[in-house]
Amino acid sequence: MMQLALAYASFGWAVFPVHSIRNGKCTCGRKACTSPGKHPLTKHGFKDATTDPAIVATWWKKQPWANIAIATGIKSGRLMVIDLDCKPDKGIDGEETWRQLDEKTPDTVEVLTGGGGRHLYFTYPDNVDLKSGTNVLGPGVDIRAENGYVLVPPSLHASGKRYEWEASSDPIDGVPVAPAPLWSMNGHAKGVQPTIETINPTELLPAVKVNELRSALAFISSDDRDIWLKVGMALKSTNAGQQAYGIWTEWSQQSSKYDPRDQQKTWHSIDSSRGVSLSTIFWMAKQNGWVDPNPVVAVNTIENGVNDPVIAPIVEETVPMNLYNPPGVLKSILDYILQTAYIPQPPYALNAALSLAATVLGRRYCGETKLRTNLYIVSIGTTGSGKEHPREAIRSILDSADCDHLDGGENIASGQGLLTRVSINPSIMFQLDEFGLWMKSLQQKNSGRYNGEIMPTLMKLYTSTNTKYKGTEYANQRERPRVDLTFPCVNIHATTTGETFYSSLSSAEVVNGCLNRLLVVDTTDMPEGEERESIKDIAVPPEIIGWIEEVIKQERTRGNLKGLSDCAPIRISKSPEAHKLFVQFLRESKARRKAETNLENIYILRRMYEKADKIATICACAEDLDRLIVTKEHAEWAIQFVTYHTNRLLRLIIDRIADTPFEQSLNDFYRAITDRGERGVTVRELNRDKPFRAYPPRDRGQIVETLVKSGQISLMELKTAGRKRIAYIPVNAEEDNHHE
């Protein structure tokens, strides 16, 4: 429901949640409900309708079962819906009335209602003032325009049936909303002129072009009004109607200056023949660093004796072609793991190869930005799919290279125990099975203080590879001295099932930075390898052993404390081509974060560049220890690997974050702020009053930040009789009271 509500909002249709049907009754719970499954869940009904994706997502995240309603009229781009109502028991037959009225109706978007009727969607001109009404065009033929609303698919009707788009008229498939025929408005609207010209027929943009436009618009700011107008004019020139308006609205909402009423008014006033075309959008985007994601190549064809170039798009493979062909010794490690596996699984083998190389390189090498090679990789797969073998293969390799000290324990019992192990071997890898269950155990209320220290310690270690980690000060320094670590390089190679991993997550894990440090590789919907009848014992290839020995030989240290000395790593630079690719990747990552409305996604996207940079450094070392430079090929492979798996994670995680105590804390704060009414809650009161003071200061800050970014509350300057009051208030209260 949330995804569809967001899709409708992207068309420029203002949506809001309404009650649904549960066990044959309205979810409002009133026995005498007169409008079951149809009345609003928002305080001001259709007046609260919006196209703001942050608000829409918040509504349906809190009430995922809610039906979806669209406010008709000016708020949704002058949307008019003709409602054909059929109630045989009351003698109402809107279809019969419509057959008598219908002179010539254009093809348009159509809904089959759960009650057996139909909704026909149209747009009406801006010189028309059209009101909603019952039986406006005759018995059973209503009009929904200004001050009205309609339910949309897949909302549930009191009959138990759902609203559905008529098979050939689904707007999600790109079917346009037609202009309202003049005869359907005459006599029922103020200001109708008999000479209204027919609007140009809609010409829908193909999906490839829409994606290309969204990619380009991510590089253009919508804050400047002149640029905002040019983009609107360029999109209007396409004659793509509501589709083009939806793209413009979606982009415009990235600015704090976005005003739905001004958006609609300006769109209707734009002259599509002003000479501004889509090329203007692409030109502006390129000035800001955009690169066409679908470059074109000229293909010569001969037709009618004329040799003409035909432009053909280059389509990228869904799964990167070279994903399982990493450079240098990484490929040797991957092949060894696959050759010795009962169930060969390339994703697991590749993750193990990266983890092993990252650990061996440890504190000895770093990239241009001083990023070390430590990785926290989590392989997700089904039970019995072969997740265990790569861990065993890594142990065999380390044993053969006499580097067993690099392999840590299979379990971490406490934060202090973790630090003690890392103090012995600052470059180390922990191979953890059932990672999801382990994450769950850390969140249990009775898990104890020692468990509670583990995840914060791991998070801090992740970002401490280029500095000194200062341990905890205990009262009894003789028995429990502080443990300091110089440039620790901790790696995680974990495996788990999807069910336990996703159920262990909450918004808290995303917001506090746990999940975004993990490089998650979900293989649950990928083809599984075939079981082998027999497995041969294969010795670890000499090139792998030789590479590990060569890396260790090149270690450079200062001081005389073995394993704790201050490292001077070899810094690996990028070739000009690789540097250019990473600059572009950084710009694209920033643009994605700026365009993203989901807070959890923003946090995950934030570390994409960092992970790709680390893996590119690993690739350079794996390729040639005598020529340490990140090439274009290394950069391409690393960026491809991180982008592919991050995109998969974002698709999978949106509906799978568990409802946990963090979500409860969000609800507690929001209710408490709402209960304060128009006075709101000041920062001082957040630190002083209940329930806020029950949470640690850091948690309070995260909770308030989440509520602000999700559009539920905002910090406002309120007018009072005395001194000005600055307080957090609910967004609805802000709209109602018009505070400055």
The pair of structure tokens assigned to 69 is 């309603």
The answer to whether residues 234 and 280 touch, using CB atoms and an 8 Å cutoff, is yes
664 exposed, middle or buried (CB, 10 Å; 0-12, 13-18, 19+)? Answer: exposed
Radius of gyration of the chain (CA): 30
Q: Name the phi and psi angles at 100, rounded to 5.
A: -75, -30
Residues 261 and 278: their CA atoms lie apart, in Å, by 24
Apex 149 CA angle, 146 and 155, nearest 5: 165
What is the DSSP-derived secondary structure letter of residue 728? E
The answer to whether residues 350 and 493 touch, using CB atoms and an 8 Å cutoff, is no
SS3 156: strand
Helix (H) / strand (E) containing 430: strand 427-432
Pick from 352, 375, 318: nearest CA to 648? 318
Residues 628 and 631: their CA atoms lie apart, in Å, by 9
Residue 573, CA distances (Å) to 101, 243, 585, 620, 640 in order: 75, 46, 17, 9, 19
Residues 375 and 367: their CA atoms lie apart, in Å, by 14
The answer to whether residues 452 and 514 touch, using CB atoms and an 8 Å cutoff, is no
Residue 11, CA distances (Å) to 77, 381, 473 in order: 9, 37, 57
Q: Name the phi and psi angles at 715, rounded to 5.
A: -90, 120
- Does the structural domain 661-737 have CATH classification 1.10.10? yes
The pair of structure tokens assigned to 686 is 């957040």
Residues 621 and 609: their CA atoms lie apart, in Å, by 19
Largest CA distance in the chain: 98
- Candidates 3.40.50.12780, 3.40.1280.10, 3.40.50.2300, 3.40.50.300; CATH matching 329-563: 3.40.50.300
The answer to whether residues 718 and 736 touch, using CB atoms and an 8 Å cutoff, is no
Listed in sequence order, the residues at least 6 apart from 184 whose beta carbon sits closer than 8 Å to its beta carbon are 82, 105, 122, 137
Of the CA atoms within 13 Å of residue 582, those in its CB half-sphere come to 27
Q: Name the phi and psi angles at 579, rounded to 5.
A: -60, -40
Provide the Cα torsion 330, 333, 339, 344; round to 10°.
-60
Alpha helices in 624-682 (DSSP H): 632-653, 661-675
Pick from 235, 240, 273: nearest CA to 252? 235
The length of the chain is: 740
- How many C-beta atoms lie closer than 10 Å to residue 425's C-beta? 20
Q: Which residues of 356-382 are buried (b: 16+ CB within 10 A; e: fewer)?
A: bbbbbbbbbbbbbeebbbbbbbbbbbe
Pick from 650, 652, 622, 625: nearest CA to 637? 622
What is the DSSP-derived secondary structure letter of residue 709? H
Residues 498 and 508: their CA atoms lie apart, in Å, by 19
Contacts of 306-312 with C-beta under 8 Å, sequence gap 24+, read none
- The domains spanning 329-563 and 661-737 adopt the same CATH topology: no
Give the mean pLDDT per block of 10 residues along the chain (740 residues). Answer: 87 91 90 90 89 86 93 88 83 80 77 90 81 84 91 92 86 79 65 38 62 82 86 83 78 80 77 63 77 47 36 43 88 93 91 96 87 93 86 94 90 82 89 84 56 79 79 62 79 89 64 78 75 82 94 57 54 93 91 72 86 96 92 94 90 59 68 82 83 77 71 77 78 48
Pick from 555, 433, 451: nearest CA to 500? 433
Pick from 72, 63, 94, 65: nearest CA to 148? 72
593 exposed, middle or buried (CB, 10 Å; 0-12, 13-18, 19+)? Answer: middle
- Token pair 């630079």: residue: 573
Residues 703 and 697: their CA atoms lie apart, in Å, by 10
Residues 713 and 709: their CA atoms lie apart, in Å, by 8
- Token pair 């929904």: residue: 144
The answer to whether residues 16 and 50 touch, using CB atoms and an 8 Å cutoff, is yes
* String of DSSP letters for 356-410: HHHHHHGGGEE-TT------EEEEE--TTSS-SHHHHHHHHHHHHTT-GGGB--S
Helix (H) / strand (E) containing 485: strand 485-486
Pick from 666, 654, 649: nearest CA to 597? 654
Listed in sequence order, the residues at least 6 apart from 546 whose beta carbon sits closer than 8 Å to its beta carbon are none
For the chain, give every domain's residue range: 2-190, 207-287, 329-563, 661-737
Q: What is the predicted pLDDT for the residue at 299?
A: 35
The answer to whether residues 57 and 7 touch, using CB atoms and an 8 Å cutoff, is no
Listed in sequence order, the residues at least 6 apart from 664 whose beta carbon sits closer than 8 Å to its beta carbon are none
Of the CA atoms within 13 Å of residue 426, those in its CB half-sphere come to 25
The answer to whether residues 182 and 123 touch, using CB atoms and an 8 Å cutoff, is no
The pair of structure tokens assigned to 390 is 């790569």
Determine the distance from the C-alpha atom of residue 634 to the mean position of all C-alpha atoms in its chain, rounded to a whole number: 27
Q: What is the predicted pLDDT for the residue at 272?
A: 61
Listed in sequence order, the residues at least 6 apart from 9 whose beta carbon sits closer than 8 Å to its beta carbon are 15, 50, 51, 52, 53, 56
Residues 535 and 529: their CA atoms lie apart, in Å, by 14
- How many C-beta atoms lie closer than 10 Å to residue 107's C-beta? 10
